[in-house]
Homo-oligomer: A and B are copies of this chain.
C-alpha cells in the first residue's frame, strides 16, 4: 500500500481508538485523526486525543463541534442520567443514540473532501458494552450507504470502513498496541474521568480496560482518582 494513501481515523482519546490509529499508520496510511466535541461529560478525552495524534504521527487532528447533548438520551450526554458502576442487562444507558452513525457520517464527509477512501473506526464486538452500532452488520450497512451517499461513490471511488479491532479481545488489542508503540498512559477510557484525565475505575469502560491489562499481563498505566 502506498504511503500516500489517506485514511480518516476516528479518535476518541480512548484505548481502542488509539490502537486503531497505530494500526492505520502501520498499514501505511497518512492518517487524518478526527475527534468530536459532542457534549460528552468530560473534556479529558479530547485532550488525550490531541496527545495521541501527535504521539502516533497523525498528519492532522481535527475536532468537530457537534452538540449531541441538545438531543440527550444518554448518560454520556445528559447530566441527569447517571453513569452505572455495575454491570447492567441489555444495552446500557451510556449508549448514545446513533452516535457511530453520526461520527461515521462526518468522517465520510471529511474523507470525501480529502479524497481519502479509507475510514478507520475502533469498534469492538467482543469486550464491548452491547452497543448496536459496534456490530459488523452495522458497519457493512454503513459502508454500502456511504457508496450511495457521495459523489465519490457515484463516480466509482467507494469507501472502505476498517474495523481492525472488531474481533479482538481487550487483551489482544493491548498486545497489538504495545507492539506498535502506543503509549497507553496518554489514553482516557473512563466515562467519568476528571479534568486531569484520571479514571473512576468503576464504570463499564474502566472495568473492560482494567481486565484487559490484567489478562494481557501488561502493567496498567491508568491513573485513578
Contact = CB atoms under 8 A, between A and B. Distances in A.
A100 B149 CA distance: 8
B67 A151 contact: no
Interface string A38-74: 0000000000000000000000001011111011110
Interface stretch (A105-113, A172-180, A202-210, A217-225): A105-113
Contact of A66 (B67, B104, B138): B67
Given A65-B66, A141-B141, A150 B109 contact: no
Interface string A106-145: 1011101100000000000000000011010110011011
B64 A71 contact: yes
Interface residues of A, number: 43
A98 B150 contact: yes
Contacts of A141: 141, 144-145, 148-149
Interface string A88-109: 0001000111111110111011
B149 A132 contact: yes
Nearest to A132: B154
Contacts of A98: 105-106, 108-109, 112, 146, 149-150
A196 to B, nearest CB: 27
Contacts of A64: 66-67, 70-71
A213 to B, nearest CB: 29
Contacts of A154: 91, 132
Contact of A106 (B100, B102, B145, B146): B102
Contacts of A145: 101, 138, 141-142, 144-145
A132 to B, nearest CB: 5
A164 interface: no
Contacts of A95: 151
A200 B112 CA distance: 29
Given A73-B109, A98-B106, 19 more contacts: A62-B71, A64-B66, A64-B71, A65-B70, A91-B151, A98-B105, A100-B149, A101-B105, A101-B109, A102-B105, A105-B105, A133-B148, A133-B150, A137-B148, A138-B145, A138-B148, A141-B148, A142-B145, A142-B149
